Amino acid sequence: MSSTPSLVTRTRVVIVGAGPAGLTVANLLRAAGVDCVLLEAESREFIERRPRAGFIEEWVVHALARHKLADRMLERAETQGDFEFRFDGERHTVPTGELSGRRHYVYPQPLLVTDLVASYADTAGGEVRFGVRDVELHDIDGDRPAVSCTDPATGARHRIECDFIAGCDGARGVSRAAIPEGRTLLTRHDHGVAWLALLAEAPPSADGVVFGIHERGFGAHMARSPEVTRYYLQVDPGEDAGNWPHARVWDELHTRLAAAGAPPLTEGPLIEKVVLDMHDYVVEPMSYGRVHLAGDSAHLVAPIAAKGMNLAIHDALLLGEALIAHYRGDDSGLEGYGEACLRRVWQYLEFSQWLSYVLHGASSGDRFRAGTASARLRRLLGSESAAKAFAGLYLGEDADL
């Protein structure tokens, strides 16, 4: 920006983005006495209501609990330990909890964000600036990096000088864009399908996750709360959500999730309809100069296996702990930060790709792919060892190998 900042301040770490990753980093730093400032382009009300993912892996809950960040989740969240496939008119349950000894916690991201904001800003008195505009990163490869932004109330420019910047502002954020071209490698994978993501004001029609595999396309049911259910329908890439009125959505859901003995779906108003193209990407390295990326700034895993928020928190835990260690004289965590994160990222990407092949094979129009996808699924359902491996990966077991 050409205007001169009206105020220059200093802190140790500036965190850009108040999603699960940024808020986790902020809470860890605040608790350890490391000065930080959290910047967020949206309002507090917006981020606390924005619909997002709802499955949290058990290891994440335990990790947050160690930092006293999971009290409300442990009180309120339900857990799920079964996974159901429906295909060829039959139901097939995989007892993932029994097989792995773990559970998924069902806790929508807005609730977690609300908890983390309250912990950082209200309880611990951490500094957070909502609604900031025109955020820019400066001198990120030097010894005196800084972040500038415009105050939404006064229009004044503020410059915050710091030691490090945690870029937690997602795929379209300014943090990754600030890294000079050619200094990172972006690897992308396209699954060749899209999902119509739906939220229905309707009670769940099954206890847990249901994946319907059908020649018309994949369909899914995921319980979110006693009053709200998440559904997905496979659609063509680039599809317009407006082409899917209420009646068409429910007709397809009834068709793709049909199975003998299954309870009928409970219909209700659709309060969200968004088309998501299924693709993944990885940014390497995850650090440049004094900027360290976390969450969707560094990698995106399509919601096929519900891994995104878990990866974001994994990054944040490692980054927060590494920054704290730096101020105690140990830089090994920062030096190995990206490599440690990416081990889990690549494991989750591989599992997501495997599951995508199974879920979308029947509707691919490719007889070979459909046949091999069916073979994978029947091996999973017919082999205890295969089922245990699936359950472990689905629930986040041994993901750092």
The whole-number average pLDDT for the span 111-133 is 97
Angle between the N-to-C axes of helices 337-360 and 367-382, in degrees from 0 to 180, rounded to the nearest 10: 110
252 in helix, strand or coil?
helix
For residue 311, what is the DSSP state? H
Residue range 225-242, pLDDT digits in tens: 888 899 999 999 999 999
Q: Which CATH superfamily is domain 7-74+108-186+280-349 in?
A: FAD/NAD(P)-binding domain (3.50.50.60)
Q: What is the structure's pLDDT at 368?
A: 97
Instruction: Give the integer Cα–Cα distance in Å for 208 and 195.
Output: 19
Phi, psi angle pair for 359, to nearest 5°: -70, -35
The residue whose two tokens read 């976390």 is 294
Q: How confident is the model at residue 398 (pLDDT cuts 50, 70, 90)?
A: low
Q: How does the average pLDDT of the chain come out, rounded?
A: 94
Provide the pLDDT for residue 5. Answer: 57
Domain boundaries, the chain: 7-74+108-186+280-349
Q: What percent of the chain has pLDDT over 70?
A: 98
pLDDT at 82 over 90: no
Q: Check pLDDT > 50 for residue 111.
A: yes
**What whole-number distance in Å separates Cα of residue 255 and Cα of residue 251?**
6
For range 193-200, the mean pLDDT: 95
Is residue 3 over pLDDT 70? Answer: no
Instruction: Give residue 131's pLDDT.
Output: 97
How far is CA 73 from each of CA 77, 109, 166, 272, 319, rounded to the nearest angstrom? 5, 11, 25, 24, 22
Q: How confident is the model at residue 112 (pLDDT cuts 50, 70, 90)?
A: very high
Q: Is pLDDT at 372 greater than 70 in this prediction? A: yes
pTM of the model: 0.93
Q: How confident is the model at residue 332 (pLDDT cuts 50, 70, 90)?
A: very high
Comparison of pLDDT for 203 and 225, the residue scoring more: 203
Distances (CA, A) of 242 to 196, 251, 322: 11, 16, 46
For residues 399 and 347, the model is more confident at: 347
Taking the C-alpha atoms of residue 115 and residue 186, their distance in angstroms, rounded to an integer, is 33
How far apart are alpha carbons 361 and 371 in whole angstroms?
Answer: 8
Q: pLDDT for 177-196, tens place per residue? A: 999 999 999 999 999 999 99
Q: Is 397 or 212 the better-scoring residue by pLDDT? A: 212
> Phi and psi at residue 213, in whole multiples of 5°?
-105, 120
Q: How much is the pLDDT for 24?
A: 98
Return the structure tokens found at 11: 């802190």
